[in-house]
Copies of this chain bind each other. A is one copy, B any other.
Amino acid sequence: VLGASLACAYGTTVVACKDVTFMAKTVTAEEELKRANDMRSRMELMIMEAQAEFCKALELEEDGGKKFNVDKWKRAEGGGGVTCVLQDGKVFEKAGVNISVVTGNLPPAAVAQMRSRGKNLREGVELPFFAAGISAVIHPRNPYVPTIHFNYRYFEVKDGEKVDWWFGGGTDLTPYYLDEEDAVHFHGTLKAACDRHDTSYYKKFKKWCDKYFHIPHRGESRGIGGIFFDDLDTPGQEEAFKFVTDCANSVIPSYIPIVKKHKNKMYTDNERQWQLLRRGRYVEFNLIYDRGTKFGLHTPGARFESILMSLPLNARWEYMNVPYERSREGKLTEILKNPKDWV
């Protein structure tokens, strides 16, 4: 059903969809998006739809009846975004789903960072760029429901006449208590999406995810992983876009069944305290290591509220909290120290 309603808008021919209502007006004028058929426009429509579909799927689970708050914002340097946040709900303690479509000039330091990743760009100059992406972090209230994060983005950098483009993104899960069935379902859904495009993707992107969401000072992962990739420009733009679209469409089927399964479970205050401690680790990763957060906060004029919406409503730090090895908390910690293959 989801696939069907989305297909009309970001197929090869762009037709604005009647049956998908976006959370706000598009960043680029809708007439322009309808007229154009380039990757920038198609990506913008895709992320607007993915945002709307995901927010609506979450609202259906939010039994308190709370709805997303929608902020449409502009960026002085060019472009803007739509930030949707549902805060202090019954099921979702804090849920943020953000899209942004921005243009501007990359400072030489950012260009240098891309060169170090292998991009063939001129050194020491500002280069014009375009970026469109969707990013979401959902922190449920019940400690039995995991936190999910995903992010899919399209990037263009112009160097003289040449335009470099690539896609990046990923989806990953952070449980507080491990349900192996959930882990298999989540990874299985992502693997199926990968396999539809390239059977080598899942293995590679799962490993990349484990490596990326690692907290070196604690020697543990942020969660049980998922997929992560960057600089994807093969086999071609059309194929890469289709893959990223498929990944974005897989978020709902990978996550919503897990929410439904656990959201009404009873839990104790001890379990809640453990969840808050783990949320502290989430904050550590995001503020110290996450490239997106760092890049964002160090960009002058960035909308920091849309970057920091990823932080949990509440978090906790206890000195020297080491769970008993054989407890459920200890077993989760063991998995985080030694990432497992789930499918």
Contact = CB atoms under 8 A, between A and B. Distances in A.
A181 interface: no
Interface string A144-169: 00000000000000000000000000
A287 interface: yes
Contact of A315 (B96, B304, B315): B315
Contact of A87 (B218, B307, B319): B319
Nearest to A83: B319
B85 A319 contact: yes
Given A313-B317, A319-B94, A320-B71, A302 B85 contact: no
Contact of A96 (B87, B308, B319): B319
A318 interface: yes
Contacts of A307: 217
A280 B317 contact: no
B288 A305 contact: no
Nearest to A320: B305
B319 A316 contact: no
Nearest to A306: B319
Query: How many chain copies does the complex carry?
Result: 2
Nearest to A285: B287
A325 B28 CA distance: 34
A47 interface: no
Contact of A297 (B87, B217, B313): B217
Pick from A94, A96, A297 the residue with the most CB of B within 10 Å: A297
Contacts of A280: 311, 315
The number of chain A residues touching the other chain, given as a range, is 20 to 34
A302 B319 CA distance: 15
A314 interface: yes
A288 B284 contact: no
A310 to B, nearest CB: 9
A133 interface: no
Contact of A287 (B69, B283, B312): B283
A309 interface: yes
A96 B217 CA distance: 19
A278 to B, nearest CB: 14
Contacts of A297: 216-217, 288
B314 A308 contact: no
Contacts of A284: 287, 308
A85 B57 CA distance: 44
Interface in A179-210: none
Given A309-B319, A313-B317, A316-B313, A304 B218 contact: yes
Nearest to A312: B317
B318 A87 contact: yes
Contacts of A294: 288
A315 B287 CA distance: 14
Nearest to A294: B288
A85 B85 CA distance: 36
A276, A309, A313, A318: residue with the most chain B Cβ atoms closer than 10 Å: A318
19 contacts: A71-B320, A87-B318, A94-B317, A94-B319, A216-B297, A217-B297, A217-B302, A217-B307, A276-B314, A283-B315, A287-B287, A287-B288, A288-B297, A305-B319, A309-B319, A311-B317, A313-B316, A315-B315, A315-B317
Given A94-B319, A287-B287, A305-B319, 15 more contacts: A69-B319, A85-B319, A85-B320, A87-B318, A96-B319, A276-B314, A280-B315, A283-B283, A283-B287, A284-B308, A288-B294, A314-B314, A314-B315, A315-B315, A315-B316
